[in-house]
């Protein structure tokens, strides 16, 4: 979702806001539609997951998603400018609980709760 090396990356840039949260702006395009005119739910889920992952990255924590619960409050137009925000709720290393929101024009369009597990060094391959 964020890398510069992947041609298909959405080039998200998450910025810490000074409170421990991270935020990013995003605007989709027609290739990301699910139903006609609406941003695909899988894309929304991936955006929220990426926001929470980057919240941990900004704390120098590498972790993988163990559980992700997404709530869709309203359809998101595929080309709407949206804001992503994520924050850490609780940390008991190696387990981290996070929340994220996707908003458009000040309204929460989707939100997520997730559990992340810190990456064990034994899983890293050269």
The pLDDT value recorded for residue 57 is: 94
* Of 124, 115, 5, 118, the residue nearest 49 (C-alpha): 115
For residue 31, is it within any domain? yes
Q: What's the domain range around 34?
A: 15-120
Q: Which domain CATH number covers 112?
A: 3.10.129.10
Tokens representing 113 are 């709760």
> 126: burial class by Cβ within 10 Å (0-12, 13-18, 19+)?
exposed
CA 3/CA 40 separation, integer angstroms: 21
At residue 119 the predicted structure's pLDDT band, cuts being 50, 70 and 90, is: confident
**Distance in Å from the first CA to the final CA of the chain:** 22
The pLDDT value recorded for residue 91 is: 96
For residue 3, is it within any domain? no
In the predicted structure, residue 23 carries a pLDDT above the cut 90: yes
Its sign, for the CA torsion 10, 7, 49, 68, is positive
Q: Is-contact 44 70, C-beta < 8 A? A: yes
The pLDDT value recorded for residue 12 is: 86
**pLDDT higher at 59 or 5:** 59
What are the pLDDT digits (tens) for 33-73? 999 999 999 999 999 999 999 999 999 999 999 999 999 99
For residue 92, is it within any domain? yes
For residue 111, is it within any domain? yes
**pLDDT higher at 90 or 7:** 90
pTM (2 decimals)? Answer: 0.89
Alpha-carbon Rg for the chain, nearest whole angstrom, is 15
In the predicted structure, residue 22 carries a pLDDT above the cut 90: yes
Task: Please tell me the total count of domains within the chain.
Answer: 1
């Amino acid at each position: 979702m964020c890398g510069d090396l992947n041609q298909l990356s959405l080039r998200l840039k998450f910025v810490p806001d000074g409170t421990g949260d991270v935020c990013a702006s995003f605007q989709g395009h027609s290739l990301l539609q699910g139903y006609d005119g609406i941003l695909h739910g899988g894309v929304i889920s991936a955006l929220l997951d990426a926001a929470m992952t980057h919240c941990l990255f900004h704390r120098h924590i590498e972790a993988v998603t163990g559980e992700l619960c997404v709530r869709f409050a309203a359809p998101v137009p595929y080309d709407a400018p949206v804001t992503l925000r994520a924050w850490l709720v609780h940390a008991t290393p190696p387990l981290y609980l996070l929340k994220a929101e996707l908003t458009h024009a000040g309204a929460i369009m989707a939100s997520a709760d997730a559990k992340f597990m810190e990456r064990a060094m034994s899983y890293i391959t050269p």
